[in-house]
Structure 1
Amino acid sequence: MSRSRKPDWLKMRPPSGREFAGIRETLREHDLNTVCEEANCPNLGECWSGRSAGREGGGGTATFMLMGERCSRGCNFCDVETGGMEPLDPDEPANVASAIAEIGLDYVVLTSVDRDDLSDQGAGHFAETIREIKHRHPGILVEVLIPDFQGEEHLIERIVDAGPDVIAHNVETVERLQFPVRDRRAGYEQSLSVLEYADRESDIYTKTSIMLGHGEYDHEVYQTLTDLRERGVDIVTLGQYLQPSRSHLEVQRYDHPDKYETWRRVAEEELDFLYCASGPMVRSSYKAGELFVDAVLREGRSVEEARQRARERSAT
């Protein structure tokens, strides 16, 4: 079965550049994985080439993927391999911290495969990596994109206690399409509960991402955004789903960039999200969202101060 033809606005620039090559070499030296490569992110060339740093002399950015290259779940949108789980690398937290110093990052994104096979589903390894980075590099901002940990709050608490600056967990799609898009062990309410707990138990920004193009209706996207705000989510990204291979779910629709701009206005101006990055090529770990958080936190604003400014912005 042939894949649907992509519109012109989804053309990607091939990876290149000195920064891109340098990051790739550093990752290989430390035997590290990135979701940028494992999930075939369309922004890999742009981010790794350094233009995402947003300031003169800044380096590239990469999202480190912890706990191996293979996932215990099999979501039908994702290009990460499933099954054949391997033991955790005890040196990975230190290796990530070392690589960060060599690459020259000051905003780090950590994510992971799902590890339902482990007694703590990898929460301890995740937390150890956060602490190692914060210990070695106190000025670095750390965003974590965590699994749902099957909704077990004591495991989410381990992440909160490690002190990241942003906790993200992706709801991925609207409630009706959770399956077949996601693995059956995931779920809409379970993901909302993870985000709600992270918001309730910490003074940390919460973030999520929605893929469009699976056949969702506008009213379902609006309802999803509403549900997320009611659970306290601060930042949301919306992007176009792209079929990784013929064995994955087909794209049902390609929305024009103007549609994404409409969703951005709805999210920020009507629903009071602190920030919304919305566009066909936007992904959950996306430079615009990272730069927003970087600017807010380095200005010394608290989460509550930022939320109050968002409310004032929407009221005008």
Structure 2
Amino acid sequence: MAYPSWLKKNVPKSAAGLRIRAYLDDSLRTVCESALCPNRGECFARRTVTFLLLGGVCTRGCRFCAVTKAAPEPVDADEPQKIAQAARKLGLRHIVITSVTRDDLPDGGAAHFAAAILAARQGLPRAAVEVLTPDFQGSLGALDKVLAASPDVFNHNVETVPRLYAAIRPQADYQRSLNILRHAAQSGILTKTGLMLGLGETEAEIKSTLQDLKDSGASIVTLGQYLPPSPKHYPVQEFVHPDKFAEYQEYGEKELGFKAVFSGPFVRSSYRAAEVYLSV
């Protein structure tokens, strides 16, 4: 399926972007590179980086994701401090931290997330810290470890509409993800989530899912076009027109009352995260 004109994007090059790439090549993983994000050149030029915790191997086999699926790697206890040092050296003002899913760990890596938040706060006290976590297999106790570290934004993606979970992310559970979002929102922390479009969902399903997300207490939603990382991944079913993304943004903000709906073909969970955070 040929990509339409609105999905063609120039990759900017800048001194800041090259510096970030050079530093990260020698130091830490990012989801920007591991997930082959199409925005990574632009984000690096804007001094935006999403750090990837807990190795580069995921214990789940979601059919949309480019991250390697295999036996997990040992946990690097020094990783939180390394992230804080990198964020300080790169002069970041909005730090985004995510991870692979680690179902092999007793708390899913929640304590490691908390340590990374606290290290980032200590290293850059004026920076905002946003986390994008897995579902911790539904453990609210594990989630509370992350929330106790007081991130400025808590993000957990539902990724797609409930009907497609079995095909797209069979090891996840839609209601479990809603419970994670609800618990985070009830803690008083700004809560964010995201969906990919173009997987075969209908407009009615998107609107129903947005209503579920609003009912769960999420304040910010991102909507972006799904692009398969390789021919082996789940095939794209539709290229959603930018006008339709704009319609969903208006529906979410004006009819459902989200604080922000960031919607567009190239939008990803952490794309322009600082701008979205400051907008609310």
Matches within 5 A, 1:128-167: 128-167=115-154
Alpha-carbon distance, 1:24 to partner: 1.2
Q: Which residue of 1 aligns with 2:42?
A: 46
Runs ≥4 residues deviating over 2 A: none
Q: Does 1:292 align with 2:276?
A: yes
Measure, in 2, the Cα distance between the counterparts of 1:185 and 1:75: 8
- 1:198 matched to 2:198? The reply is no
Gaps of at least 5 residues in structure 1 are 51-59, 297-316
- Contact preservation (8 Å) 1:107, 1:141: yes
For structure 2, list consecutive stretches of 5 or more residues without a partner in the other structure.
none
Aligned to 2:213: 228
Structure 1 counterpart of 2:21, from 14, 19, 24: 24
One-letter code aligned to 1:214: L
Q: Computing the radius of gyration over CA atoms, which structure comes out larger, 1 or 2? A: 1
Q: Is the 8 A contact 1:65 1:110 kept in 2?
A: yes
Aligned equivalents of 2:231 and 2:149: distance in 1? Answer: 40
Tell me the CA shift for residue 290 of structure 1. Answer: 2.5
Between the aligned partners of 1:101 and 1:41, the Cα distance in structure 2 is: 23
Aligned identity (percent) is 47
Cα shift at 1:295: 5.1
AA matched with 1:222: K
Q: CA deviation at 1:18?
A: 1.0
The question of whether the paired residues in 2 share the 8 Å contact of 1:71 and 1:83 is answered with yes
Alpha-carbon shift at residue 185 of structure 1 (Å): 2.1
Aligned mates of 2:22, 2:12 — CA distance in 1: 14
Q: In the alignment, what sits opposite 2:159?
A: 172
- Please tell me whether residue 210 in structure 1 is matched to residue 195 in structure 2: yes
Amino acid at match of 1:61: T
Query: Pick from 178, 188, 204: which aligns with 1:219?
Result: 204
The Cα shift of 1:282 comes to: 0.4
TM-score, with length taken from structure 2: 0.98
Shift of 1:14: 2.9
Instruction: State how far apart, in whole Å, the 2-side matches of 1:77 and 1:28 are.
Output: 25
Partners in 2 of 1:63 and 1:292 — Cα distance? 15
Distance 1:15 1:87 in 2: 35
8 Å CA contact retained: 2:227, 2:236: yes
Paired residue for 1:274?
259
Measure the CA separation in 1 of the matches of 2:163 and 2:215.
Answer: 19
- C-alpha separation in 1, matches of 2:35 and 2:202: 26
CA distance in 1, matches of 2:83, 2:197: 32
- Alpha-carbon RMSD across the aligned residues, in angstroms, is 1.0
Map of 1:309 onto structure 2 = none
TM-score by length of 1: 0.87
